[in-house]
Amino acid sequence: MALDLLDTPLRATWDLHDGRSGMPSPLAAQVAQRLTDAQVFYLTLDLHPLLHADVVDLVRDLSAAGCQVEVCTGSSADELARLPELPETVPVLLDVAPFCLADGLDFVGLGKIMDDFRAMGRIPVFSLVPNRDNIGLLGALFAFSQRAGIARFKLPNLRINDTFRQTCQPFMVTPSDLDRLRLQVSDAAAFRSGLQLDVHDLFLWEILFPDGGTARSEYGGCQAANSLAHVDLQATVHPCNSWPHPLGHLAVASFDVIWSSPDRLAIRQNVAMQPAGCCNCRDYAICFGGCRGLARELPTIDGRDPMCAGRR
Amino acid sequence: MTVLKRNPAIIWRVERQREAEVKQALAAGDDPGERGTVLLIDSGTMHQLNLVGGTIWQLIDGTRTAADIVADLAVEYDVSQDELIGDVEAFTSDLLQRGWLLHG
């Protein structure tokens, strides 16, 4: 069953603290209330929410309202010190990108952070935004995860911010990178090492789950500004964190209002348009053009998803 | 007959716009397909209920028996209760088996 058009998003990412500054407390409380009112099912507190003074109260309130909250964290001492305050039922997503080095995985560092988590009675979810530098380490990371008792591994989408073109574009995974990964994955089930994988990107998912599966049975194309939303540090709502486009501000409008706005509907109409580069592609009915945010932000051939190798 | 209630662990919401669109399609004699009007999550997995299932789900509020639900549904859709009894029973049995519903 398709998911167009929803009254409010089902999933949201929220930048409560970016590592340098946090959302002011009154505004954060208001955003949490907006998310609760919108009955958002799944919320990821992105970047460094454990550095925010109110994170524990916010997580508790949102969880009590039925929202399934995940909390991202880096490996700083300040963040880890807050972990014991979080309810044990809340998944903690550890960013393992800093442990992916040019010459391989930092096994010592990963082992130490796992010891820190175990000492607090927790097992993290590993999280890695794939890029050109780290995608070749997925196999080693999955194998490490299995040995370390990690059950779940998340591969989120690439975030885009104001400096994206200057800082991130060179690191964007290309179809050639995916081809090299495909060569590594001769036995996908073995490669996955028994992990529960959450894979945002469709073309990466195809490699890791070549036999398909039920995980994407309801995938109806890019869900930006439909089931998906992103709330930035200023409480501005965007279609998703790969698609920076201010749709409204939660200090002045609810998700209901923002999701009813002409701007939001224009985004969905944009998503529904078949990119020229996808015409006559046999798999368009499966991918629906893939990530429309990245295709918009990164000038691509005929509007295709930048990870797409071409018409099939 | 005992009342039925929703399992409080199930998080759900009504999609008002879609519900209205499906009702409009039905009123116009069009086939609305299987568009979900109630979304719910159970153990992290999202499910959708179509218009009739969603209506039954909303009627299961802890005060009604299955017979009450049939009676209310018959009024809502302007059909005889006899036409509904079997479907409502099958639907609620399925949801009881899934653990989404509980006997009150």
Task: Count CB atoms within 10 A of the CB of residue B30.
Answer: 10
Higher pLDDT residue, A269 or A3?
A269
Phi, psi of A309 (to 5 degrees): -80, -20
The whole-number average pLDDT for the span A298-308 is 80
The whole-number average pLDDT for the span A120-144 is 95
Structure tokens at A29: 């409380």
pLDDT number for residue B26:
87
Nearest to B17 among A5, A66, A68 (CB): A5
pLDDT number for residue A1:
43
pLDDT number for residue B35:
81
The whole-number average pLDDT for the span A31-60 is 97
The whole-number average pLDDT for the span A67-93 is 96
One-letter amino acid identity for A303?
G
Top residue of A5, A39, A41, A152 to mutate, by most chain B CBs within 10 Å, is: A41
Model confidence band, residue A286 (pLDDT cutoffs 50, 70, 90): confident
Structure tokens at B90: 């099958």
In percent, how much of chain A has pLDDT > 70?
93
Top residue of A1, A11, A259 to mutate, by most chain B CBs within 10 Å, is: A1
Structure tokens at A181: 């990964």
pLDDT number for residue A181:
95
From CA A275, how far away is CA A278, in angstroms rounded? Answer: 5
pLDDT number for residue B43:
79
CATH topology for B4-103? Arc Repressor Mutant, subunit A (1.10.10)
The whole-number average pLDDT for the span A147-156 is 96
pLDDT number for residue A311:
83
Q: CA nearest B16 in A: which residue? A: A7
Mean of the per-residue pLDDT values for chain A? 91
Record: contact B36-A68, CB cut-off 8 A: no
ipTM associated with this complex: 0.81
Nearest to B15 among A6, A41, A218 (CB): A6
Closest CA to A138 of A96, A91, A200: A96
Lowest mean pLDDT among A191-200, A209-218, B47-56: A209-218
Model confidence band, residue A277 (pLDDT cutoffs 50, 70, 90): confident
The whole-number average pLDDT for the span A201-212 is 89
From CA A29, how far away is CA A146, in angstroms rounded? Answer: 38
Model confidence band, residue A168 (pLDDT cutoffs 50, 70, 90): low
A82-128 per-position pLDDT tens digit: 999 999 999 999 999 999 999 999 999 999 999 999 999 999 999 99
Higher pLDDT residue, A62 or A211?
A62
